[in-house]
Structure 1
Amino acid sequence: MRVITLIENTKDSSKNLTSEHGLSLYIETNGKRILFDTGRTNNFIINAKKLGIDLEQIDATIISHGHGDHGGGLLSFLKINDKAKVYAKRYIDEDYYFRTMLFSKSVRINKEVFTQYPNRFEYVDKFTEIMDNIYIVSDIEKPYEAPEGNKYLFVRDRNKVVRDTFQHELIMVVKENDELIIFTGCSHNGTANMIETVQNRFPNLKIKAIIGGFHLVRMPLIKASSASQNEIDTLINKILDENIEKVYTGHCTGEKAFKKLKNVLGSKIIYIRTGTELNI
């Protein structure tokens, strides 16, 4: 499997690429080309051209959840790619907000994409194999606590705004050589919960790697302190208990939390930046 980070908050200083607060991954696996999330703008498309990646050849696009830093570039993508289905949970088109006592900001995906390209969306409401050995897990079990940073994230429910329960979030799982690679967007439901869910769904298969954001920044959109040590320890223990070989993370994990993970996981964990290429 080949994975290239098209957008992340930071960038590989050796490459002439643009970074932004968001995430987009290009994946080649099982003879297919997958786009996992699209960042905030069309910058991932510009980066892809510089990296020699032809996004017109993408076979399928997966949007991990309904926030604009993961689906904001979708409209630009659909204008250049006329074949890829977009797989997502049904609730990604809702109105989502980041809120504190003094501040409120919309973090939804531009709704124009849903009205202009309604036939391109394939809504996944149950466990589904969308292509050979490529799966969407839609129902996430929650034996562990969700990330603390979720308390600042809300959704409009009819005439009121309520705390988001993240029913719009999914997991993508790829099976290669009877091993699993998990892809997360922001892990709003909790990375430990996602690992547990995948292990229960595929009880006889080893999780080789997990890739994506882990939402260990306590206050989203603001570079604040990381999640509690207890939350970080829960994730570390889950990674070690499941004997996951490699952990690739960035974006909403935050560099402060990453350092704490690195102190324990060592070479098992790698920070992905815009331009990072992985061969798994």
Structure 2
Amino acid sequence: MRVTILVDNLAARGLEAEWGLSIYVEYQGHAILLDTGASDRFARNADTLGIDLSTVSFGVLSHAHWDHGNGMGTFFARNPTAPFYLRQGCGETCYDKTPEGWRYEGLQRGLLTTFAPRIRYVTGDFSPLPGVTLLPHKTPGLAQRGLAANMYRKVGDQWLPDDFSHEQSLVFSTPKGLVIFNSCCHGGADNIVREVADTFPGQPISAIVGGFHLYDTPAQEVRAFAHRLGETGVTQVITGHCTGPEALDILTQVLGSRVQPLSTGLVLTF
């Protein structure tokens, strides 16, 4: 399996960065796109890297935030046939509660309606391809994490703490173990590794790839999280985007060589 980071907060020379994430995966003869970043920059980087988005078999949206899905229109223009898999319940509903009021953090307004024929909503454990699984969160009480982070969903006239039911993990089976992609890990990367381990008992977890949403988390909490993540036994921790440089430093202090930073243009093989 070969993985190319099409956009991240950091970029190699000649490529563009943004606050967002998009990952291109080549797996058993199929091309898969995870997220589309915040704009069309993922596609421009793909052109620079010689990656043809028209060959993608299907796309996956990790969760319903603008910095992961606002490039979907560009992808659909580049690829006329591939479906895009979203977790059931994804909608234009995500907000942050700030001192100034409610701040919309969801997908571009109208995107889900405009591209409805290309979108597939999934529930439960869903396998779009042998060896590939989309997993929902299975950890109870995640709404408490949303409440603590001032993250909400507007459902009708109600403001509900986000339980991240719109977030999903993309899991690949490889000869050396399972590789997990979860672009922001709002449910907690340590919880996500355990969710995957419980779903696939007896299979080693080779790696987790994605952002960990730690950029504004106090250092003491990051350090405690790093120890919990290490206790899961995951072999590689490849992280960037919303993790933040300070948290990345702490993760590296605790987990050592298991940690590798993400950046636009990075190529990984599993």
**Contact 2:219-2:247 within 8 A present in 1 as well:** no
1:259 is aligned to 249
Say whether residues 1:238 and 2:229 are aligned partners: yes
2:153 is aligned to 155
| Deviation at residue 199 of structure 1 after TM alignment | 0.3
Post-superposition Cα deviations, 1:204-232, rounded to whole Å, max 9, x if no partner, equal 100001100111123xxxxxxx3452454
Unaligned 5+ runs, structure 2: none
Give the number of aligned pairs.
270
**Contact 2:87-2:123 within 8 A present in 1 as well:** yes
Cα distance in 2 between the residues matched to 1:19 and 1:59? 25
**Contact 1:151-1:163 within 8 A present in 2 as well:** no
The residue type paired with residue 5 of structure 1 is: I
Structural RMSD (CA): 2.0
| Deviation at residue 135 of structure 1 after TM alignment | 0.2
The residue type paired with residue 246 of structure 1 is: Q
Cα distance in 1 between the residues matched to 2:218 and 2:196? 23
Is the partner of 1:41 in helix, strand or coil? coil
Cα distance in 1 between the residues matched to 2:237 and 2:174? 17
1:11 is aligned to 11
The residue type paired with residue 163 of structure 2 is: T
Q: Which 10-residue stretch deviates more, 178-187 or 196-205?
A: 178-187
1:93 to 86, 91, 94: 91
2:48 is aligned to 50
| Deviation at residue 184 of structure 1 after TM alignment | 0.5
2:162 is aligned to 164
**Contact 1:34-1:60 within 8 A present in 2 as well:** yes
Cα distance in 1 between the residues matched to 2:267 and 2:248? 19
1:30 is aligned to 28
Q: Which 10-residue stretch deviates more, 120-129 or 37-46?
A: 120-129
274 and 150 in structure 1: CA distance in 2 versus 1, 3 angstrom threshold = farther
Cα distance in 2 between the residues matched to 1:143 and 1:206? 26
Cα distance in 1 between the residues matched to 2:2 and 2:144? 30
2:184 to 154, 172, 186: 186
Unaligned 5+ runs, structure 1: 219-225
Is the partner of 1:99 in helix, strand or coil? strand
Cα distance in 2 between the residues matched to 1:26 and 1:231? 28
Cα distance in 2 between the residues matched to 1:257 and 1:39? 22
**Within 5 Å, which residues of 2 pair with 1:190-201?**
190-201=188-199
Say whether residues 1:127 and 2:117 are aligned partners: no
1:276 is aligned to 266
178 and 18 in structure 1: CA distance in 2 versus 1, 3 angstrom threshold = closer
Is the partner of 1:108 in helix, strand or coil? coil
Q: Which 10-residue stretch deviates more, 36-45 or 158-167?
A: 158-167
1:221 is aligned to none
136 and 147 in structure 1: CA distance in 2 versus 1, 3 angstrom threshold = same
Q: Which 10-residue stretch deviates more, 157-166 or 247-256?
A: 157-166
| Deviation at residue 30 of structure 1 after TM alignment | 1.7
Q: TM-score, normalised by structure 1?
A: 0.90
**Contact 2:189-2:229 within 8 A present in 1 as well:** no
1:222 is aligned to none
